[in-house]
A and B are shown apart, each in its own frame.
Chain A
Amino acid sequence: MALEAKNLYFKYPKGKKAVLSDFSASFLPGELAALTGANGCGKTTLTKILLGILQPQQGLVLLDGRNIAELTLAEVGRSVGYVMQNPAQQLFCTSVEKEMDYGLLNLGLSEEEREKRINYYLEYFQLSRHRKSFPFHLSLGEQQRLLLAAVLAMKPRYLILDEPTAYLDVYRRRLLGEHLQKIRTELVCGIIVVSHDRDFVGEYCQREVVMPGAGMVENHVDSPQRRAL
């Protein structure tokens, strides 16, 4: 059981250089891994390949042993939650409440269960007072929290978050970190966090996968209290 990338080679059709070449990594359930590296080294690209949005020219991605190329995006979405880098490009409903409900409806949950989860997550991410608002009128940080809430409410087995703390204030960042720790241990969720936030990585992640331009180096975040700055 793992989300594995095997010998990936990827180049954008219009790109000059390969973004990934012979890249392998595996992400386990119950582990919070950080994916770090310089701007433009291919973190976002890798996450998109892990979800099957982009197809690598070589190599494959295995989701619990199944080749991701054989699954539809919706099937992947049931096991892997994804929050993209740009919050505004993933909102598509006319109210915060509907945005939350969208994924839950697709999971076929009962009315009662949906209501329970929506209430819990809106409360946790402090969005209850925006329940009826138009998602595009929220601030960037609120949009990001809404997306996190909407994806977390689906309780996926793996979670890929691209820069989840980019727009969050210190307090909300801690809320997110603590919640990730909680679902990691309680639901044995495998979490990948792309982040430039050294504090967040040092405090909450067990393992750090550093992506250089091509290939990769791996090292362990030895002390949880490590401060890089």
Chain B
Amino acid sequence: MTLFSLVKWDPRCKIILMACLSTLAMLRGEVWFLFGLLVFTCLLVMLGGAELSGALGQVKGLLGLIFSLFIIQCFFTRSGEPWLVIGGFTLITSGGIELACILSLRLFILAFSALLLLTGEVRDYLLALVQMKIPYEIAFMTMASVHFIPILREEALNVFYAIQLRGCELQKASWRKKLHTYLEICLPILVGALKRTRAMALAMEARAFRAYPKRTYLRRLVLKKNDKAILVAVPVITLVLLVY
């Protein structure tokens, strides 16, 4: 079900919205509030027509991390009333549970609000950042690093395959062996990444990056009426929620 289209929103709106959601998530510390915020974010992503199957796939990877953080928080925070006592030793306290909930909710909100950004194209965000008066170099670097994460992943996989094809049994290996292999992979990936950044810098300069202080852009982003409304309303609501 799609009520409005996130794809059509101005990228600046999405950036602001994400920044506001994350700020709220980090600064407010009540479970009920964070839960409401999470529901709101989810609704926004779902009703906005973000591709949910893909979106869930992105969040799935985080689940394990969030779950383990939840457990750790539960066990290592000692405050409030004891909830579970085994053999005279307090295992879980109400304070621990609360903190664990807050932390997990925050992470979920961050993840879902980042999904908002996935509804746009990278070059649009680059343009948005530039039109928000952020220096082009910095905007470009930020976007380039986002762009390169999947490529780094692919390279890591290639090395991983190469290691296995040369006879290193990983699927049946002990965790020590696995760890050792992962550390081995780090080297070629780091070297590759460094080499490529150098090559990319050269290639960019060869194509006149920063040769002139000002550069031109093929397109300009223009704010529509509802974009303007969002740009004003979202920060105001955020401020109100923060003060209240």
- Interface, chain A (partner B; CB < 8 A): 51, 53, 72-78, 80-82, 84, 86, 88-94, 102-103, 106-107, 136, 150-151, 154
Contacts and interface: CB of A to CB of B under 8 A. Distances in A.
Contacts of B124: none
12 contacts: A73-B164, A73-B165, A74-B164, A74-B170, A76-B165, A77-B164, A77-B167, A88-B188, A89-B158, A92-B185, A136-B195, A150-B166
B91 interface: no
Nearest to A82: B165
B192 to A, nearest CB: 6
B166 A106 contact: yes
Interface of B: 155, 158-159, 161-172, 184-185, 187-188, 191-192, 195
Contacts of A103: 166-167
A92 B159 contact: yes
B166 A77 contact: yes
Given A74-B164, A84-B158, 10 more contacts: A72-B169, A72-B172, A73-B170, A74-B168, A80-B165, A81-B165, A90-B158, A103-B166, A106-B167, A106-B169
A74 B171 contact: yes
A45 to B, nearest CB: 14
Contacts of B167: 74, 77-78, 103, 106-107, 154
B196 to A, nearest CB: 9
A102 B191 CA distance: 19
A225 B191 CA distance: 42
A66 to B, nearest CB: 16
Contacts of A84: 158, 162
A136 B158 CA distance: 16
User: Which of B164, B167, B172, B195 has the most C-beta atoms of chain A within 10 angstroms of its own C-beta?
Assistant: B167
A74 B165 contact: yes
A21 B161 CA distance: 25
A89 B165 CA distance: 13
A93 B183 CA distance: 11
A77 B161 CA distance: 10
A170 B165 CA distance: 29
Contacts of B188: 88-89, 91-92, 136
A33 B187 CA distance: 35
Contact of B169 (A74, A82, A90, A151): A74
User: Which of B158, B165, B171, B184 has the most C-beta atoms of chain A within 10 angstroms of its own C-beta?
Assistant: B165
A93 B163 CA distance: 10
B161 A53 contact: yes
Contacts of B161: 51, 53, 73
Nearest to A136: B191
A82 B166 CA distance: 9
7 interchain residue pairs of minimum CB distance: A106-B167, A77-B165, A103-B166, A73-B164, A90-B162, A89-B158, A74-B169
A89 B184 contact: no
Contacts of A76: 165
User: Which of A81, A84, A88 has the most C-beta atoms of chain B within 10 angstroms of its own C-beta?
Assistant: A88
Nearest to B181: A92
Nearest to A88: B192
Nearest to B186: A92
A92 B192 contact: no
